[in-house]
């Protein structure tokens, strides 16, 4: 979180210096818009950093070796589990292709911390 707040301060300082150079109303509006965007993206960046830290954790336990088992752990259909694996580069899978290998605890942790889309009900 410290890196994000430092980046935010540098970014806001840069925006303020740009606004001082262009003192018209348009520059002030642009500044407000950019700060709002930064606020929205800061939460997303925090979630991504948490997911990366989770992904680095050493897996334990017996590996799960089928899409059916993975889907069961995640509480979704096999097709949904496969779609999530294709769409998310941080999906905790050791191999790509037809025969996946994953660890149950890593799957549960990933499922708790994944970024859910607004349309997602899972």
Residue 70: give the domain boundaries. Answer: 63-113
100 and 67 both lie in a single domain: yes
Ranges of H-type helices in the chain: 2-21, 25-56, 67-74, 78-87, 104-113
pLDDT at position 92, please?
81
Q: What is the DSSP string of 101-117?
A: -EEHHHHHHHHHHS---
Q: How many domains does the chain have?
A: 2
69 and 37 both lie in a single domain: no
Q: Is the pTM of this model over 0.75?
A: no
The domain boundary residue, chosen from 23, 40, 56: 56
Percent pLDDT > 70 in the chain is 65
pLDDT tens digits for range 44-69: 777 777 766 665 555 667 888 889 99
What the block records as the tokens of 23 is: 């003192």
10 and 36 both lie in a single domain: yes
pLDDT tens digits for range 10-55: 777 776 776 666 555 555 676 677 777 777 777 777 777 776 666 5
Task: Indicate whether 120 belongs to any domain.
Answer: no
């Amino acid at each position: 979180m410290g890196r994000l707040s430092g980046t935010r301060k540098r970014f806001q300082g840069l925006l303020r210096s740009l606004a001082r150079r262009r003192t018209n109303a348009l520059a002030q509006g642009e500044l407000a818009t950019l700060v709002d965007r930064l606020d929205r993206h800061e939460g997303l960046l925090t979630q991504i950093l948490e997911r990366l830290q989770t992904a680095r954790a050493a897996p334990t336990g017996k590996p799960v070796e089928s899409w059916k088992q993975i889907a069961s752990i995640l509480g979704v259909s096999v097709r949904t589990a496969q779609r999530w694996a294709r769409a998310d580069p941080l999906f905790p899978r050791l191999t790509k292709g037809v025969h996946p290998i994953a660890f149950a605890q890593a799957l549960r942790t990933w499922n708790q911390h994944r970024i859910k889309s607004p349309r997602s009900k899972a």
